Structure formats: C-alpha cells, structure tokens
Amino acid sequence: MYEEKITSIIEDPAQEFDIVVRITREEDIAVARQMAKQLAQEIGFSLADVTRIATAVSELARNIYRYARQGRIMIRKRLEDRDSPGIEVIAADRGPGIPDIELVLTRGYTTWERSLGIGLSGVKRLMDSFAIHSEVGKGTVVITEKRRRAF
Amino acid sequence: MMSFEDRVVPIMQVDGYLLVPIQIDLDDRTVGRLQQQLLKEIERTRARAVILDVRMVEVIDSYISYTLSETAAMARLMGCRTVLCGIQPPVALTLAQMGVTLQEVAVARNLEHALVLAGSFQERDKGV
C-alpha cells in the first residue's frame, strides 16, 4: 500500500503541487514552514489556521529530517469547493518506516531523546484530516488537509 | 565574551534580570544556539531571572517548546528562573490544541507582569 501511494504521489506527473520542498538539511524545516504559511495566507485562512498549518508542517518536516534524513513536503491548494477552499499537505520519505502507527500517534510516545512525543499526534489535532501510510524499510507518507471555514 | 556569531538575540541586563526579545524565526539550529547563548549569559551575569519576550514569534512547535523548557530547567539548575511573555493568541491556541505544556517556565501576560513574576521569585528564594 505504501509503494502504491508514494509512486502515485511522487512519480505521477498529473499530481501538481504548488510547493515542493525537499527536506535534506535542518534549515529546510523552517523553509517548509514559511512556504506553507505563505500559501495558507494566499488561500485566505484565518491567522489561527495559518499558525496551525505552519506548525503542522514544521512537525512533519522535522520528522522527515530526523528519521529519514531526507524526503519531501508537498503542498497544494484545493480549490474545487469554492465555498471552502483548502490546503493539502503531503510529507513523504523513503526512510525506515514506522512499525507501529498506533503507537507513534499516542501522545507522549517518542523514540527521539530530545522530544515531547507530540509531533504526529499534534499534526492530527491541528489539521482536519490525517492519513498515514508506512512500511518498514520503505518509507512513510502522511497526507493531511485543512479546509477554510466558511465565513 | 561571546563572539558575534554565537549571539542570536540581543540580551539586555536590567536589575539582575536578563531581558531577551526574540525577533527571529526559531528554526532548529537557531533555537539550539539561543539555548547556548542564554546559558552563557546566565553564567556570566549571574542573573536571577531570564525574561523571554516571544511577541514576535509566529510559530512555536513541539521541538521549540521542548528546547525552551529544557533551557529553563538548565537555567533553574544555575539558580535562575525563566519567564516567558507575549505568546500570541494563535500560538497559544496551537500549543494548547497540540497539548504542549511548558515546564519550568513561568508565563506572563506582558513584560510588566513578567517583571513582577521575576521579582516574586526573588522574594520566594529569599524566603520572605
């Protein structure tokens, strides 16, 4: 399932993203966060939601850097529904994968020494939808979305 | 004295306190360097409290929170308290929603309140 996901996301030219940030260095975490913030502002999200989205992207980018060393953050506007446009954030890597997804979504669980263990569970709380596909030895894809609330 | 490159924020010493306005994006490297700078300044000045003003900080994620708490715990071991002030509403909302708690850090409404808090620690430490 992971293979299918990552192939369709990374290799299919039909998948157009507004922003693709390659995460290879620590500094790229802040770059991804800044880019996400800008796009969220363009879509017209409230300041609270812009902050939520930027924070979620920060957590996802850091996970890539920490566990997989490299990967991508891909972001696109979702404008099909004109009343409530949204933003989709995909974090993909070909890192070690996650053996127990339930466990990593448990608040406070972490395999990293200097960490609160709030990263992924935090992303899930901050965004509207959250899906994770992972396979040990192959990698991890997190797909998450936030809709702009109708005014 | 610290070299110029080691300094990430201006630190003002006022009456035994260190006032630290954070006006830069806290990426992972910066937050690590901030920690180093604060600890060195606490040692050098023997400050009683550090007041971190985060009014200009737009994103505080779990790692930044962790590092701030860790820095405060280290400062505490050096006899110095840490007060955070000026958390923006969207940042407060995001931290609360993620379930982040800042340990070893006192939180103040604004700079004035931060100074009052820092003063109250001093009295408590004296046993008044």
pLDDT tens per residue across span A85-140: 999 999 999 999 998 888 888 888 888 877 777 889 999 999 999 999 999 999 99
Q: In this structure, which amino acid lies at residue A123?
A: V
Q: Tens digit of pLDDT for each residue in B78-90?
A: 999 999 999 999 9
pLDDT given for residue B85 in this prediction: 97
ipTM, interface predicted TM-score of the complex: 0.89
pLDDT digit string, tens, across residues A7-49: 777 676 667 899 999 999 999 999 999 999 999 999 999 999 9
Give chain B's end-to-end CA distance (angstroms, integer): 35
Is residue B2 pLDDT above 80, yes or no? no
Confidence at residue B106, expressed as pLDDT on a 0 to 100 scale: 95
Chain A partners within 8 Å of B66 (Cβ): 114-116
- Kindly tell me if the per-residue pLDDT of B1 is higher than 60: no
According to DSSP, the β-strands at A71-78 and A19-23 are antiparallel
Q: Residue A111 has what pLDDT?
A: 82
pLDDT in tens, A47-60: 999 999 999 999 99
- Cβ-Cβ pairs closer than 8 A, A with B, add up to 79
> How far is the C-alpha of A134 from the C-alpha of A101, rounded, in Å?
8
Which chain A residues are Cβ-neighbours of B73 within 8 angstroms?
A: none
pLDDT at A80: 87
What gap in Å lies between CA A24 and CA A16, rounded to an integer?
21
Average pLDDT score over residue span B39-61: 95
Whether residue B48 is predicted with pLDDT greater than 60 in this model: the reply is yes
Residues of A in contact with B29 (CB under 8 A): 26-27
> Are the C-beta atoms of residues A88 and A76 closer than 8 Å to each other?
yes
Closest in B70, B88, B94 to A55, CB measured: B94
The distance of A71 to chain B (nearest Cα, Å) reads 17
What pLDDT score was predicted for residue B4?
63
pTM: 0.91
Distance CA A73, CA A20 (A): 6
Q: What is the average pLDDT score of chain B?
A: 91
